[in-house]
Amino acid sequence: MMLTLTKTDQTFRIGVISDTHVPDRVGELHPDVISVMKGLKVDHILHAGDISSQSVVDQLELIAPCTSVRGNRDWFKKNQAQFVKFISFNNVKICINHGHGTIFYYFADKIPYFFTGYNFERYQKNLEKCCEDALVIVFGHTHQVENRWVNNRLFFNSGSAYDSGNDGSGPTIGLLEIFPDQKVKGSIIPLRKAKWTKTGWIINEKSSYEPNHV
């Protein structure tokens, strides 16, 4: 069953986050995540997987309702149906899917990735197989930001919320704005570069919270 939310004359502000990896790679959420989400005044949050702990979802839900899907490292999520979810805001259908695909695809993709690195088109084809007629496809897994329209569909990956990402952009989250007339705008939100240590996060540089519009 698809969750449908509508505002007759207002814009939905949707926070997007992925690949938090708490606690399998870092001990807690990046220190900017909560404050930036609050500052964005989001109505809802989408987590595109590799959450790694229910505590992450619990923290996000203190800000706004959170819809999440299972990533390849989310062993705590037992329900297979949670790999893909659909949600609608102002009649704009969104598919949320971590992006790693089936077990066969996950391991098969490691071969071309080893030789040629990240390639958006490989993931595009895989995502289109399970996302039906959704206008917006939210995914994660690659730690690579994406905010691109292809064939009148928005492919949106907010990148990794904890590390520098495979594109070197630094930790990032995202914002989707869904307008009453069904227009959609995606923004990538940079967080401060930081390193996780045994004693906690060490911030390396000042953050610029100005969204990057694509």
Query: Which of 171 and 213 is assigned the larger pLDDT?
Result: 171
CA-to-CA dists, residue 166 to 10, 34, 146, 154, 199, angstroms: 35, 23, 12, 21, 25
The residues, ordered by sequence, that sit 6+ positions from 155 with a Cβ below 8 Å of its Cβ are 120, 124, 127, 137, 139, 146, 147, 148, 149
Report the mean per-residue pLDDT for the chain: 85
Instruction: For residue 63, give the CATH number of its domain.
Output: 3.60.21.10
For the ranges 62-66, 76-80, 139-143, 205-209, the lowest mean pLDDT is seen at: 205-209
Mean pLDDT of 93-104: 79
- pLDDT, one tens digit per residue, over 39-72 is 999 999 999 999 988 999 999 999 999 999 998 8
Q: What is the pLDDT of residue 83?
A: 87
Cα separation of 136 and 88, whole Å? 10
Residue 62 lies in a domain: yes
Residue 154 lies in a domain: yes
Print the domain residue range for 119.
3-207
Residue 124 lies in a domain: yes
Q: Count of CB atoms within 10 A of residue 63's CB?
A: 18
Residue 213 lies in a domain: no
Residue 212 lies in a domain: no
Phi, psi dihedral angles at 72 (to 5 degrees): -70, -15
Mean pLDDT of 194-214: 70
- pLDDT, one tens digit per residue, over 21-31 is 999 899 999 99
What three-state secondary structure class fits 35? Answer: helix
For β-strands 3-5 and 212-213, DSSP reports them as unpaired
Task: Provide the number of structural domains found in the chain.
Answer: 1
pTM for the full model? Answer: 0.88
Mean pLDDT of 13-17: 98
Q: Residue 169: pLDDT above 50?
A: yes
Only one residue has tokens 């996780």, namely 196
Residue 122 lies in a domain: yes
Residue 214 lies in a domain: no
- pLDDT, one tens digit per residue, over 144-166 is 999 999 999 999 999 999 986 66
Q: What is the pLDDT of residue 77?
A: 65
Mean pLDDT of 179-185: 96
Q: Residue 9: pLDDT above 60?
A: yes
- pLDDT, one tens digit per residue, over 65-94 is 999 999 887 876 655 458 899 999 999 999
Residue 86 lies in a domain: yes
Q: Render 78-99 in DSSP notation, one character per residue.
A: --GGGGEEEEEETTEEEEEE-S
